[in-house]
Amino acid sequence: MYEGVVQDLIDELGRLPGVGPKSAQRIAFHILQAEP
């Protein structure tokens, strides 16, 4: 679906208990949009 580091982040988040693919995607984009 996505490429590179973004997809790696989504894949790793999806490995967490209770986090499905859609939730992992939402969490990943939330992290990327957050202020440092």
Burial of 19 (0-12, 13-18, 19+ CB in 10 A): middle
Per CATH, the architecture of 4-33 is what? Orthogonal Bundle (1.10)
Q: Global pTM? A: 0.85
Task: Centre a 10 Å sphere on the Cβ of residue 28 and count the other Cβ atoms it contains.
Answer: 21
- Residue 35 to residue 20: CA distance in whole angstroms: 25
> Quick one: pLDDT at residue 36?
82
Q: What contacts 24+ positions apart, CB below 8 Å, involve 1-9?
A: 6/32
Q: Residues 9, 21, 30, CA angle at the centre, nearest 5°?
A: 50
pLDDT digits (tens, 9 = 90+) for 1-36: 889 999 999 999 999 999 999 999 999 999 999 988
**Residue ranges per structural domain of the chain:** 4-33
